[in-house]
Amino acid sequence: MRRAAAACFGLAIAFGAVGEERSASEAIAEYRQMLEDGNPAELMELRGEELWTTPRGPKNASLAQCDLGLGPGVVEGAYAQLPRYFADTDRVQDAESRLLTCVTTLQGVPGDEAARGWYRAGSDLEALVTYVATQSRGKPIAAPVTHPKESAFLAIGADLFYRRSGPLDFACATCHAQDDRRIRLQELPNFENPESARTSMTVWPAYRVSQSAVWTMERRLIDCIRQMRHPEPELGSDAIVALQVYLQHQAQGGVMTGPGIKR
């Protein structure tokens, strides 16, 4: 079988059946299990905590007063209840956009500077989101849908999940709306099925071995949107936040175990 030279994906190496009695997905589950002890995300968490507590920026302030929805400085359990509506910005925000609000308002860092290179391995946002998300481990997902803007974003997020466009007619639903589906050997969560949605949303953000970095949910979604051959939505844009309101709603009640380990 010829080895394709495609940068991010090459041909899977043709090989005999993986152990007659075991399927490829069982073998992959065992592989992931072997990695659970010693998840490099713990290193990003350490750095995120340092970024949270260290005074920085023109105002030489830390993020200790940042309100992630449960009150200024409250981090424990906050991630599991995002996205949500924030009165001070009059917007529904997710972890990434809310942290950027705090960096710009509390620390005085200009918006574009705070967001620059956010998608690169080792970015401040990667570390901060990893730290914040780790403090929701063991908490059930409960993104509120009580404020009118939250419920509007739930309906909009659902519409966006099914919104097909582009040369390949792709939408999220193209791959994520049926049970037990796979692209190649890549198992796909089905977000129409709450149980499947929970297995997915409770492990993100996750350390991706193929990237040697933790990917936040926005990084994950924006790369998927790229692979659908759509343009990239803006970091923290309403489309990305509304989509997460829908995904979190589908996964509500799932107990956070992240950051996880992914391909």
- Which of 80, 214 has the CB closer to other proteins? 214
Q: How far is the CB of 49 from other proteins (least distance, A)?
A: 11
- Which of 54, 60 has the CB closer to other proteins? 54
**Of these, 234, 253, 255, 257, which contacts other proteins (CB under 8 A)?**
234
112 contributes a contact to other proteins by CB under 8 A: no
**C-alpha pair distances (Å), 74 with each of 52, 68, 125, 132, 192:** 12, 7, 18, 10, 32
12 contributes a contact to other proteins by CB under 8 A: yes
- Which of 70, 177 has the CB closer to other proteins? 177
Residue pair 218/235 in contact by the 8 Å Cβ criterion: yes
Residue pair 247/107 in contact by the 8 Å Cβ criterion: no
- Which of 79, 170 has the CB closer to other proteins? 170
**Of these, 53, 89, 212, 257, which contacts other proteins (CB under 8 A)?**
212
Residues in 30-59 at the binding interface with other proteins, rule: CB under 8 A: 30-32, 34-35, 37-38, 40, 42-43, 46-47
How many residues sit in the footprint of other proteins (CB under 8 A)? 81
116 contributes a contact to other proteins by CB under 8 A: no
Residue type, 20: E
Q: For residue 78, how many C-alpha atoms fall within 13 Å in the half-sphere facing its CB?
A: 26
Residues in 156-175 at the binding interface with other proteins, rule: CB under 8 A: 156, 159-160, 162-171, 173-175
- Which of 80, 82 has the CB closer to other proteins? 82
Q: Is 66 a catalytic residue?
A: no
Q: How far is the CB of 37 from other proteins (least distance, A)?
A: 7
Q: Per CB under 8 A, which region of 54-62, 94-102, 136-144, 206-214 contacts other proteins? A: 206-214
Contacts of 11 (CB under 8 A, 6+ apart): 1, 2, 3, 4
Site mask for other proteins (CB under 8 A), range 117-156, x = bound: --x-x------------------------------x---x
- In the numeric block, the tokens 């908490």 are attached to 139
Q: How far is the CB of 103 from other proteins (least distance, A)?
A: 19
Task: Return the closest-CA partner of residue 51 out of 132, 112, 128.
Answer: 128
DSSP codes joined into one string, 100-168? HHHHHHHS---HHHHHTTTTSTT-HHHHHHHHHHHTTTTPBP-----SHHHHHHHHHHHHHHT--BTTT
User: Residues with catalytic annotation?
Assistant: 224
